[in-house]
Amino acid sequence: MRSVVWGACALAVVVGTFVARIGAGDAGVPVRAAEPQAAQAPPIQEMERVEVPPPPFSEGIYPCTACHNKDMPVNRTRRELTEMHTDIVLKHGHQWCLDCHDPDDRDFLHLADGERVGFDESYRLCGQCHGEKYRDWRAGVHGRRSGSWNGHKTYLLCAHCHNPHQPHFKPIEPKPAPIPPSRTVPR
Amino acid sequence: MKQPPDEQPNLTRRQFASMAAAAAAGFVLTACGPKRLYEMPTDRLKARIREMERKYAEEFGTAVTVADTPPIPGVEFAYALDISRCIGCRRCVYACVAENNQSRNPQIQWIRVLSMDKDKGVDFSDADPYYQPEQVPQEGHFYVPVQCQQCRNAPCTKVCPTGATWTEKDGIVVIDYDWCIGCRYCMAACPYGARHFNWAQPSIPKDELNPKTHYLGNRPRPKGVVEKCTFCIQRTRNGRYPACVEVCPVGARKFGNLLDPASEIRYVIENKRVLVLKEELNTMPKFFYFYGT
């Protein structure tokens, strides 16, 4: 009599746990608070302003109008600079300073049509020639963005990665190569 | 003595013994041993996680969190890498090691950067992972970083005898280290060499441990289990980019939700020349390579 009850109990335990395991397995995700749906990023508006960190000025160079003010006449002739800014090497097509920098207000850049743009909007200036890259950059595919993949993102300006005066990337030192397998395990 | 008619006959000793043994075995299998993450009742999982956190805190002398963040509904992760931009600097390799608590000695690295000859194209028989010039990129070379390709049709999950590795609803192929028996079938099945085995007790300097871990991701592993890239599950399920994406100095790495038409990953697939590695194997990777130029 007692053994019958024991047997029935044992059977119930086995069957019960089995059912519980199958049930839990099917559910896939255990019962936990659901996270909010991934925020849908709004479609990219062509002329929408982009949020960027402050432009990467050399120390003490901005505002440019500290020197380039009314007391300094504007020399519009294309020439090699010999007195100031001699550290800047220009290797960027056939440009020279005033093709991008605004002669009448040096704290700004200007587009080909003369429209003044701030340094924090310099992507519009670069985008005049590099339209394809500009489009990719807006979509977050050229260059780097920080933030979250499903939410707020901050772009970097072209000038954060490329020196606008010589935009080609300089080679860098690689990190160490992996150790070949024969020597991985310590002896 | 005669049995009353409504009562069943007594079990034999043998029947009782076998039933009791089965019950004991069932109890041991279901309650005592480790369980795959999603088969555990929530309270048992929480207890297991607390136990893990306590053990890690003791071992590393710092507070460690083990998250069990579930997949976000409506999200399928995918990755794209611009091979026209990658300069082979290996910043990603070391960011990954630090983020995901990979063993320093013996060395385990989930990302392997292959240097390839521009004249030969993507050719694995001619790829060099051990390149070490003074500066990169080298003339005439391009670089193909390889890590877990997070296949839709993942060969590794099919061969696992214990069900310790599977594909999550957001497309990440994960490993439950508690269930891995170290048979390394999955390593043999993976055509990308993306899985790595802990031949010895992994070593992580105490001050370099990343204490924000995920149960299925970067929690410290024991000796004798297989590990691999999880798209930084501990970061991406909380909306962050993987560590390799954030560190890449040339912005060659892109990550996002494949199901979101506005994501950068969709832009890449719709607008760029895209390829996957070893397409002919029908593994259907969610890790794409593209030419940004």
Please, are residues A114 and A123 in contact by the beta-carbon 8 Å criterion? no
In total, how many domains does chain B have? 1
Nearest-by-Cβ selection for A14 from B23, B237, B255: B23
Please, are residues B277 and B285 in contact by the beta-carbon 8 Å criterion? yes
Please, are residues B136 and A171 in contact by the beta-carbon 8 Å criterion? yes
Q: Which two tokens stand for residue A179?
A: 């150790």
Strand partners, B175: B165
Residue B207 is assigned to a structural domain of this protein: yes
DSSP, collapsed to helix, strand or coil, labels residue B29 as helix
Strand partners, B257: B77
| Residue B168 to residue B170: CA distance in whole angstroms | 5
Smallest CA-to-CA distance from B225 within B174, B176, B188 is with: B176
Check CB contact under 8 Å for A41 and B135.
Answer: no
Q: For B85, which DSSP code?
A: T
Instruction: List b or e across B247-259, with b for residues whose CB sees 16 or more CB atoms inside 10 angstroms.
Output: bbebbbbbbbbbb
Count CA atoms closer than 13 A to B37's CA, side-chain side. Answer: 25
The residue behind tokens 């007692």 is A2
Query: Does any CB of chain A come closer than 8 Å to the CB of residue B183?
Result: no
Check CB contact under 8 Å for B131 and A146.
Answer: no
Strand partners, B146: B112
Residue B219 is assigned to a structural domain of this protein: yes
Tell me which chain A residues have a C-beta less than 8 angstroms from the C-beta of B74. 37-38
Check CB contact under 8 Å for B135 and A42.
Answer: no
> What is the CA B244 to chain-centroid distance, rounded?
15
Residue B190 is assigned to a structural domain of this protein: yes
| Global pTM value | 0.80
Q: Which two tokens stand for residue A4?
A: 């019958």
Q: For A77, which DSSP code?
A: S
Check CB contact under 8 Å for A34 and B73.
Answer: yes
Query: Does any CB of chain A come closer than 8 Å to the CB of residue B291?
Result: no
Check CB contact under 8 Å for B263 and A149.
Answer: yes
Bridge-based pairing of strands B65-67 and B212-214 is parallel
Nearest-by-Cβ selection for A32 from B27, B70, B129: B70
How do residues B96-152 score in pLDDT, each as one tens digit?
Answer: 999 999 999 999 999 999 999 999 988 899 899 999 999 999 999 999 999 999 999
Check CB contact under 8 Å for A37 and B73.
Answer: yes
Smallest CA-to-CA distance from A163 within A122, A102, A115 is with: A122
Check CB contact under 8 Å for A141 and B268.
Answer: yes
pLDDT tens digit at each of 293 positions of chain B: 555 555 566 788 888 888 888 888 776 655 554 556 777 888 999 999 999 999 999 999 999 999 999 999 999 999 999 999 999 999 999 999 999 999 999 999 999 999 999 999 888 998 999 999 999 999 999 999 999 999 999 999 999 999 999 999 999 999 999 999 999 999 999 999 999 999 999 999 999 999 999 999 999 999 999 999 999 999 999 999 999 999 999 999 999 999 999 999 999 999 999 999 999 999 999 999 999 98
Residue B4 is assigned to a structural domain of this protein: no
Please, are residues A149 and A40 in contact by the beta-carbon 8 Å criterion? no
Mutation site for B-interface testing, chosen from A130, A145, A149 by largest number of B Cβ within 10 Å: A149
Tell me if ipTM is over 0.85: no
Check CB contact under 8 Å for B263 and A143.
Answer: no
Check CB contact under 8 Å for B68 and A35.
Answer: no
Nearest-by-Cβ selection for B23 from A10, A144, A147: A10
Query: Does any CB of chain A come closer than 8 Å to the CB of residue B269?
Result: no
Domain span including residue B260: 77-291
Residue B102 is assigned to a structural domain of this protein: yes
Residue B18 is assigned to a structural domain of this protein: no
Check CB contact under 8 Å for A150 and B169.
Answer: no
| Residue B48 to residue B178: CA distance in whole angstroms | 11
Give the CATH number, domain containing residue B224: 3.30.70.20
**Mapped to the 3 state alphabet, what secondary structure does A8-66 carry?**
HHHHHHHHHHHHHHHHHHHHCCCCCCCCCCCCCCCCCCCCCCCCCCCCCCCCCCCCHHH
- Provide the residue type at A91 as one letter: K
Count of A–B CB contacts within 8 Å?
183
- How open is the CA angle B94-B97-B103, to the nearest 5 degrees? 130
List chain A domain ranges: 64-76+83-161
Nearest-by-Cβ selection for A174 from B88, B199, B272: B88
Nearest-by-Cβ selection for A30 from B45, B130, B267: B45
The residue behind tokens 């924000």 is B212
